[in-house]
Structure 1
Amino acid sequence: MRASLIQIAVDQDEPVDSRRARVAALVREQRGADLVVLPELWPTGAFAYESFAEEAEPLDGPTFAALAPAARDAGVFLHAGSIVERAPAAPEGRPDGHSDGGPDREVLYNTSLVISPEGVLVRTYRKIHRFGFDKGEATLMSAGSQITTAAAAGAVLGLATCYDLRFPELFRSLVDAGADVLAVPAGWPARRREHWTLLARARAVENQSYVLACGTAGTHAGVEQAGHSIAVDPWGEVLGEAGNGEEVLTVDLDITRVAKTRSQFPALKDRRLGLPAPDGIA
């Protein structure tokens, strides 16, 4: 599998429709790749909280409309990063338990889109772990609740987004669901760049999977982005790493290496699950 990670520079002064057109052109340039991955919330900027409600869109909204033909023209599976999705609230209100929901109220999600080479939306993933510590995304968006995988180009993608990277139990669940490539779009801040690359390698090693972690460049609402999109193999070796600016990182993955690694070093089978809770502190 040939994978291209497009590390998009997000400039808040660039109109969103112009950025969609520019990114669609970049996707079309990846003909010859099997999989293309875009970053988290690149239409709005991951930290541009004040724009979330205004720029929110349905799954078949302007971002999908711009990128579906680009995926078809390039003949690639496209992980289109994520959008601010506007969706009807669940009948009982907001699914994350917030009290301001209601049967007729719309809610927002941080939602990833996976588009086939035919330009069809084949999978979505609503980000489970929202960043902000009771501020920003954590209060503006509802939480997803579904472990999500997608078959793409002979691999099974495990879908996660940005802050999800800090929660290893999610990735073990993705592996249990059959994932051999973990795709992580992000809008990761530059001040924690070392965490970004460390956690990407850790998720690869502990799950004996490829990790494709695609971030943004530029500055979102005053927050400098880490860039440094990274591809890691099942042994934790870095196959490629981008710099700070807009860049396309292309790597070749041997998907059969996942099964070989898990066979040669079968650590996953030694997991001990369901151990009893401790009685107390000794």
Structure 2
Amino acid sequence: MRASLIQIAVDPDESVDSRRRRAAALVREQSGADLVVLPELWPTGAFAYDLFAAEAEPLVGGPTYEVMAEAAADAGVWLHAGSIVERGAGFDGPLYNTSLVFSPAGELTRTYRKIHRFGFDKGEAVMMAAGAELVTVPLPEATLGLATCYDLRFPELFRGLVDAGADVLVIPAGWPERRRAHWTLLARARAVENQSYVLAVGTAGTHADVRQAGHSIAVDPWGEVLAEAGSGEQVLTVDLDLTGLGVTREQFPALKDRVLGLAEPRR
């Protein structure tokens, strides 16, 4: 399976509409890929909290939905369009950090509302409602498991996705430069412990004066880095050997040796 990771730059001087058009053009350029992935909240910037309410979109029919559906169909690819600020039902409905996945026909096939919201009682953590469902996406070549940015720090979420059949873990993010070492470390850890491919796609540029890490990364089930971007806007294209993944799980069957349901520790 060929995957293209689009590490788009977020420039506060560029309009959201302009960035949508530019991202759609980048998607169309990946017509030879099977799967294309964009980062978290790339229309607004993950730290541009003052734009969240004004730029919030309905789940279906909003401006990002429309341009991404068309781009997926034009390129003939499965498109994980990163995430948007979703406005829930009603004029004053809750906000969600919601990922959109389109089929090669441009049809919305899955959505994922981010479960772990970042901010420690500030920012996203108080402005957005939490998702509550694990989401997998069956593709012809593989099953994707969906997570977003801060979710990367919570291994139990990924184990749940693997138990649900995921073998490629897809993680769009708006990860800050000052914690870039954690980004690559955690991406490799999630790959090794779940014997799965990890596609972790960040943004370049700056969100509300928060410098972004970039360094999107593709990791194989042994934790080996297949490709890693730099700090600027870049497209990574990698080929994933899903047959090899099955061999890895057979030759080193660690997942079956998990011990579940342990007793509570003595106090």
TM-score scaled by length of structure 1: 0.93
CA distance in 1, matches of 2:183, 2:204: 14
Structure 2 residue 63 is the aligned partner of structure 1 residue 62:
yes
Structure 2 residue 159 is the aligned partner of structure 1 residue 158:
no
TM alignment of 1:119-268, pairs within 5 A: 119-268=106-255
Alignment partner of 1:182: what SS? strand
CA distance in 2, matches of 1:153, 1:44: 32
CA distance in 1, matches of 2:92, 2:104: 35
Runs of 4+ with deviation above 6 angstroms: none
CA distance in 2, matches of 1:34, 1:200: 22
Match of 1:81 in 2: 82
CA distance in 2, matches of 1:258, 1:169: 21
TM-score scaled by length of structure 2: 0.98
What is the CA deviation profile of residues 47-92 of structure 1, one whole-angstrom value per residue up to 9, with x for unaligned ones? 0001100000011210010111111111100000000000127xxx
One-letter identity of the residue aligned with 1:43: P
Structure 1 residue 216 displacement after superposition: 0.1
Alignment partner of 2:88: what SS? strand
CA distance in 2, matches of 1:54, 1:258: 43
What is the CA deviation profile of residues 246-267 of structure 1, one whole-angstrom value per residue up to 9, with x for unaligned ones? 0000000011122111110001
Question: 250-259 or 190-199, which moves further after superposition?
Answer: 250-259
Structure 1 residue 105 displacement after superposition: 4.2
Structure 2 residue 2 is the aligned partner of structure 1 residue 7:
no
CA distance in 2, matches of 1:260, 1:105: 50
Gapped regions of structure 1 (runs ≥ 5): 90-103
CA distance in 2, matches of 1:51, 1:185: 19
CA distance in 1, matches of 2:83, 2:106: 16
Structure 1 residue 153 displacement after superposition: 3.9
One-letter identity of the residue aligned with 1:88: A
8 Å Cα contact 1:160-1:182 kept in structure 2: yes
CA distance in 1, matches of 2:63, 2:244: 38
One-letter identity of the residue aligned with 2:40: E
CA distance in 2, matches of 1:53, 1:73: 30
8 Å Cα contact 1:77-1:153 kept in structure 2: no
Structure 2 residue 16 is the aligned partner of structure 1 residue 29:
no
Aligned residues between the structures = 266
Alignment partner of 1:219: what SS? strand
Partner of residue 110 from structure 1, selected from 66, 88, 97: 97
Match of 2:263 in 1: 276
CA distance in 1, matches of 2:54, 2:122: 18
8 Å Cα contact 1:234-1:257 kept in structure 2: no
What is the CA deviation profile of residues 192-242 of structure 1, one whole-angstrom value per residue up to 9, with x for unaligned ones? 000000000000000000000000000000000000000000000000000
One-letter identity of the residue aligned with 2:171: V
One-letter identity of the residue aligned with 2:76: G
One-letter identity of the residue aligned with 1:172: R
Question: 230-239 or 253-262, which moves further after superposition?
Answer: 253-262
Structure 1 residue 152 displacement after superposition: 2.1
Alignment partner of 1:82: what SS? strand
Percent identity between the aligned chains? 77
8 Å Cα contact 1:35-1:152 kept in structure 2: no
CA distance in 2, matches of 1:23, 1:153: 25
Alignment partner of 1:106: what SS? coil
One-letter identity of the residue aligned with 2:252: F
Structure 1 residue 279 displacement after superposition: 2.0
